[in-house]
Chain A
Amino acid sequence: MARTDASRVELLRGTLDLLILRTLLPGPSHGHAIARHIQRTSEDLLQVETGSLYPALYRLEARGWVAASWARSDKGKRARYYRITAQGRRQLITERSKWDAFARAMGLLLKPLDGEGR
């Protein structure tokens, strides 16, 4: 089962787009699968809310970073599959380097002091 609410991490604003693009890198996927993948890969730390996932997907599509088409799922149902576009890949690269810089900066700033918490 999913982790308890207390241990979940709030998704940072703007990071959902990045996560979706990354998730789509190996191949096309539908909305539900994307949500599941993010949740599992983050060891249940991140849970994507449907309320924000679908608006985000449509937004990415509107920007031309992903393309969508209807196809049959493995269970034979009609599902909307999202595929990352060339433009989306470029976007992912810039976003990821920005994120890396940000994470590094945060890491440096939040480095525990010697003796802290012991």
Chain B
Amino acid sequence: MTSLLRKVAWWLRRRRKEDQLLEELQFHLDEETEERRAAGLTEEQARRAARRDLGSVPRVLEETRPLWTWSALEQLAQDSRYAARMLWKAPVFTIVVSLSLALGIGASTGLFSFVDALLLRSLPIHEPERLVQIRVVPVLPGGLKKPMETFERRVFDDVRGRSDVFAAAVGFWPVDRPLITIDGAPEPDREVQFISANFFRDLGVAPILGRPPEAADDDVAIVSARWWRSRFGGDGSVLGRSLDVNGRLFSIIGVAPPRFHGFRVEYSADLWLVSNSQPIALGLIARLAPGVTATQASGAMDGYFRQHLLPRFKGAEQIETEALPAGRGLSNLRDQYRPALLALLALVLVVLLTTCSNVGNLLMLRNAVRARELAVRAALGAGRHRLAMQCLVESTFLAAIGCALGLAFARWGVSVVAGMLPLPAVPDSLTFYTDARTVGFAIVVSLIAALLFGLAPAWRATDVDLAGSLRTSQSGTQPRRARRMGRALVACQVAFCVVLLVAAGLFGRTLRNLSQVDIGYSTDRLLQVSIDTRIAGYQKGQVGPAVRLLLDRVSAIPGVRSVTSLRNAVMRHSGTSVAVNLPGLQRRGDEMWEGAHVGPSFFETMGIDLVRGRTFNAQDFASDRPAYVINEAFARHYFPGEDPVAREIGIVGIVEDVRFHGVREEIVPFMYQKLPTEPDRVNTLLVRVESDARAVVPQIREAVLGVHPRLFTGIRSLGEDIDRDIVLERMVALISGFFSGLGLLLASIGIFGVASYTIALRTRELAIRLALGAGRWSVVRESLRDTMVVFGLGLAAGTAAAVAVVRIGASLVADLLFGLTATDAANITGAAAVMVAVAAAACVLPAHRVTTVDPLVGIREP
């Protein structure tokens, strides 16, 4: 305690303390001189001997000072001032390094924000960890599981009633591509969900404006904060306005808090609707009652669901109830995205390492320029530790600038990537927020980077050869070891870059392969109209006439070539499993195959060519006699070597193989069944139009709404559906391409640096060679030899690393690739070739300098 008091007292009088010490040392010096003079030395000799004996006064000061200073802090302040001054004095260096760092840090932070949104962050809801999604999974024959995620209102009410298990339960139902109009003007696509009236209240999500819906509310709407700002001016006048969704009016009563976009991670809702009559079915989110675990909850509900739902699933023997954590949102893609995100995280780490080696090398070069200054400071008594510390402070400063710029870059980069994805509305997960999480991440990354790129150069630079550095007139040469380290760093950049190129090649070619997949029919001018006969309230017996009326009206629209109906949508992975027993068809056990229920003129509309027999005709649709159309794969697999049509077992025709549910789908045995005369539901119309699809879209919408105001749920071209189907691949390809571009930029800066530096050092020698008659080209070759060695080593190391990485990671990324394997040799060769080309380009300027050296001038250079 007393020592602390003394310390404060001394600190307050630190100036006087220092004077005191100086005076004391002067006294010591005087005494010493006196003594020596008494021993017989001359005045001058005595003074000099005493001086030598005393040693370095600054050093004594330096060592004693900590007693009255908070030295670490004060040194830091001093170093900071010094670092700021030094960076200010070398603006080009500072800018290049900060930009470099900004790219690396920004890339990592941008990716982090996405990973965070998709995998880590909890939704802005009260106690998100207590929320579960209820799913029921019927176990079908053959172990097939098709989870059921939506339930009718009665089930929802029953689940809400189980207060012993759940504290609350809320329901939501996404509306597929609704038509929204505000004051008569149509709105661009928005993600819209019907919700149960208690949704906001029971989730603990309080509107920032207005009020949450109440049980008594009908036809009311809540809008998201971002839509409120962008569309409604962000002020109170939004309350009470009404909007038209698929022909029904809703009045806005509240604005959801920022960053709340419902439970579906990939589809950020901007509009929530409460209506007494809708929806028919609800996704279920429940809050566990205190003390109840998710396992207990699913166990408790098991009996209920078995009793009520098991009879619904034809052929299902068992039914499993699941209560899955919902606090981080629901995502069908999470499992699919995880390997992609992990792969991108690995890549961004490589980008960061490239940045660090690039910056490390630049620092090393700069410290070489400053060798003399450092030597002077060392000679004046600065310890190595202190000098290294100073270099690290400078690195931290650079990292801080890089961090700030990096955040801006991340924001920009994320919006660019999001904008390049074919999504109608940007999901919230692809929006960069400058919040505590991203800023914290950026700071941590920057500090790690500062240590990575700063430590080695600091240590090298402060390994000062005092006498040598002070004596030499040249200030630009580096000690040999430092130069070697700089080259090693450039080789590292090249190696990292090759790895990035290999990855970008894999994902880029995957995307190209996917977009070139022959799906078997033309998606040109093919529109997919989503309708919902259940929401419209049609019972069995009403669906058939309604659909027939609809087909008539749509086909009457000018510009529509043909139209068909089918039960489930195309290209949305909404597969149906079918199984029929036909004589002569060998089914193995409970085996089922893919299939679809299609209406009249389906094959003509889709443009699927007939191979044998015929497609469904009017008689087929009029009668109950079974008729099937199979694809070639089906015929090959189940009727090898024979003609199933000729057997007259109900198979009326064979059509060519197409990809029906998704671009990446394998060609599998596929069976088309005709829609029954009186179907229980129909979800899709397919419309092939003559020319401009956009002109026809509103008319089709009008026609559907004309049949029933609630029948229409959306319209989209099949091309859009396919784009959505490969959105993940597109994103991965985009980001990895972006990363490899960064890598190339950094590596070429590095190569350029090495080439220019070695040539600058050897200008004189090269001039002499030229003067002695050496050919220009041989001199260029000679001058670039060092650079080539560095580059060659990096290329070899990078290729080897890439080969190793793809070997190890092959199984991890296998699902992300299409049409090639990770170990694809051509891809690796291609990456190496790109690297060579870019390196050659980076050498052009330095090489050009060599050829322009004037021997007479060059020789005179120091």
Which A residues lie at the B interface, using CB under 8 A? 1, 30-32, 35, 49-52, 54-55, 58-59, 62-64, 73, 77-80
Contact = CB atoms under 8 A, between A and B. Distances in A.
Contact of B24 (A31, A49, A62, A64): A31
A32 B27 CA distance: 8
B60 A50 contact: yes
Contacts of B7: 62
B589 to A, nearest CB: 84
Nearest to B32: A32
Contact of B30 (A49, A50, A64, A77): A77
Given A63-B3, A64-B3, A78-B23, A55 B55 contact: no
Nearest to B7: A62
B2 interface: yes
Leading 4 A-B pairs by shortest Cβ distance: A32-B31, A55-B63, A55-B64, A51-B55
A80 B6 contact: no
B28 interface: yes
Contacts of B23: 78, 80
Given A32-B31, A32-B32, A62 B60 contact: no
Contact of A54 (B25, B30, B39): B25
Contacts of A49: 55
A80 B31 CA distance: 13
15 contacts: A31-B28, A50-B54, A50-B60, A54-B24, A54-B28, A55-B60, A55-B63, A55-B64, A55-B67, A58-B64, A58-B67, A64-B6, A73-B27, A79-B24, A80-B24
A7 B129 CA distance: 75
Nearest to A59: B67
Given A51-B55, A62-B67, A30 B60 contact: no
B27 A64 contact: no
Nearest to A35: B28
A107 B585 CA distance: 102
Contacts of B63: 51-52, 55
Nearest to A33: B31
A32 B55 CA distance: 14
B260 interface: no
A33 to B, nearest CB: 8
Interface of B: 2-3, 6-7, 10, 20-21, 23-25, 27-28, 30-32, 39, 53-56, 59-60, 63-64, 67
A83 B3 CA distance: 18
- Of B10, B20, B25, B63, most buried by chain A (CB within 10 Å of CB) is B63
B57 to A, nearest CB: 9
B62 to A, nearest CB: 9
Given A31-B28, A50-B55, A80-B27, A62 B20 contact: no
Nearest to A54: B60
Contacts of A77: 27, 30
A52 to B, nearest CB: 8
Contacts of A52: 63
A78 B64 CA distance: 21
A4 B53 CA distance: 15
Contacts of B21: 54, 58
Given A58-B21, A62-B3, A63-B3, A50 B67 contact: no
A54 to B, nearest CB: 5
- Of A30, A32, A52, most buried by chain B (CB within 10 Å of CB) is A32
B471 to A, nearest CB: 26
A55 B60 CA distance: 7
A80 to B, nearest CB: 5
Contacts of B59: 51
A58 B56 CA distance: 17
A64 B60 contact: no
A80 B20 contact: yes
Nearest to B66: A55
A51 B59 CA distance: 7
A59 B23 CA distance: 17
A105 B23 CA distance: 42
Nearest to A63: B3
Given A55-B64, A62-B3, A64-B6, 9 more contacts: A32-B27, A50-B54, A50-B55, A54-B28, A54-B60, A58-B64, A62-B67, A63-B3, A78-B23
Contacts of B27: 30-32, 73, 77-80
Nearest to B6: A62
A9 to B, nearest CB: 18
B348 to A, nearest CB: 48
Contacts of B54: 50
Contacts of B3: 62-64
Contacts of B6: 62, 64
Nearest to A49: B55
A30 B25 CA distance: 11
Contact of B10 (A30, A62, A64, A78): A62
Contacts of A64: 2-3, 6
A46 to B, nearest CB: 15
A29 B39 CA distance: 22
A64 B53 CA distance: 29
B64 A32 contact: no
B20 A51 contact: no
A19 to B, nearest CB: 17
A50 B20 contact: no
Contacts of A78: 23, 27
A5 to B, nearest CB: 13
A35 B55 CA distance: 14
A92 B32 CA distance: 28
